[in-house]
Amino acid sequence: MSIKDIAPPDLQGRTVIVTGGGQGIGEAYSHAFAEAGCKVVVADINGDNASKVAREIAGNTDQAIGIETDISDEAETQEMASAALAAFGRIDVLINNAALYTTVTRAIFDELPLDEWRRVMDVNVTGTFLCARAVLPAMRKQNWGRIVNVSSSTVAMGRPAFLHYVTSKAAVVGMTRSMAREIGVDGITVNCIMPGLTETGIDASGVDEDTRDLIVRMQAIPRREVPQDLVGTLLYLASEASGFVTGQTIAVDGGTIHL
Ligand SMILES: NC(=O)c1ccc[n+]([C@@H]2O[C@H](COP(=O)([O-])OP(=O)(O)OC[C@H]3O[C@@H](n4cnc5c(N)ncnc54)[C@H](O)[C@@H]3O)[C@@H](O)[C@H]2O)c1
């Protein structure tokens, strides 16, 4: 699939911030938006990875910047927005993708350290909120913006030893609906995608081969999900085409049956 063939044309020249863009699914999103003709701000707590992805995208051009950002730190999210404005003059789209996922400690909930619970909430919930808040002034000024939050289809399933993560991703669904109600009047939409279990080549602790096969059997499209499967929905939600769609959560998981 060529991104150029499926990308809505109005994405050309838009400025897109991808949090967690230095690795995994966010790295694929960063490349996809670049191929769609956008200016890309790759923000990640791992600054080296953010810079590496930005360099790969931009080459000798000014199409992308990488910025080290801890999304759970309010000042750093504001610096991220300032850097985007300094480089490109606008912020059109925020892909609120960064989260603690592959690195979370898994434990049955009565044994889960409270610090670990708080760390996951701080990044996955508060960080998502802070990034949206940081880009809001620029989007309001333009009277146009697209915020896409990232939940997970595990919310519809539940998953043992993962209560902190699943709870955080359920919060993102409610956050999406409420945020959308507050800023629709400003020409800004807020939507959410729910990826299924997605292969990125990065080891996700606690997901063994049997679990991966089981999930494929629960899907209407019976093959393992890859980051490219998410891109089309994301490009649509970032574009003019989705202008009257807001507060929605779309499962992009091959039609997984949730009993
Ligand atoms: N891979 C899957 O199967 C899957 C399924 C459903 C949902 N998701 C969601 O998709 C998103 C990406 O997942 P992934 O598989 O690429 O995960 P990943 O762990 O490979 O990547 C997460 C990225 O976020 C960054 N990050 C972590 N904490 C941060 C912070 N405080 N500030 C800024 N950046 C931070 C990491 O450095 C990393 O680059 C996450 O929101 C995840 O919850 C993933």
What was the pLDDT predicted at 61?
95
**Window from 28-32, 89-93, 119-123, 199-203 with minimum mean pLDDT:** 199-203
Distance, CA of 94 to CA of 256 (rounded, Å): 27
Q: Which protein residue has the closest C-alpha to ligand 1 atom 32?
A: 70
Radius of gyration of the chain (CA): 17
Residues near ligand 1 with C-beta < 6 Å?
19-20, 22-26, 44-46, 49, 69-72, 97-102, 123, 127, 150, 152, 195, 197-198, 200, 202
Would you tell me the crossing angle of helices 128-142 and 74-88 to the nearest 10 degrees? 40
What was the pLDDT predicted at 191?
99
CA angle 235, 203, 121 (to 5 degrees): 70
C-alpha pair distances (Å), 170 with each of 43, 109, 163, 167, 192: 23, 16, 10, 5, 11
Contact 254/219 with Cβ under 8 angstroms? yes
Distance, CA of 81 to CA of 85 (rounded, Å): 6
We find that the CATH architecture of domain 10-252 is: 3-Layer(aba) Sandwich (3.40)
Distance, CA of 226 to CA of 208 (rounded, Å): 16
Mean pLDDT across the chain? 97
User: Is the four-CA dihedral 162, 22, 200, 180 of positive or negative sign?
Assistant: positive
What was the pLDDT predicted at 259?
67
CA of 101 from ligand 1 middle (Å) equals 5
Global model pTM greater than 0.95: yes
CA of 220 from ligand 1 middle (Å) equals 25
Q: Which of 18, 49, 101 best tests ligand 1's pocket when mutated (most atoms within 8 Å of CB)?
A: 101
Domain ranges, ordered by start, for the chain: 10-252
Contact 85/140 with Cβ under 8 angstroms? no
CA of 242 from ligand 1 middle (Å) equals 25
Residue spans of beta strands (DSSP E) within the chain: 15-19, 39-44, 64-68, 93-96, 145-150, 188-195, 249-252
CA of 185 from ligand 1 middle (Å) equals 30
CA atoms within 13 A on the CB side of 73: 10
Checking if the pLDDT of 105 tops 70, the result is yes
Among all residues, which ones are annotated catalytic? 165
pLDDT digits (tens, 9 = 90+) for 162-217: 999 999 999 999 999 999 999 999 999 999 999 999 999 998 767 889 999 999 99
- Reduced to 3 states (helix: H, G, I; strand: E, B; else coil), residue 194 is strand
Checking if the pLDDT of 4 tops 70, the result is yes
Strand-pair partners of 191: 148
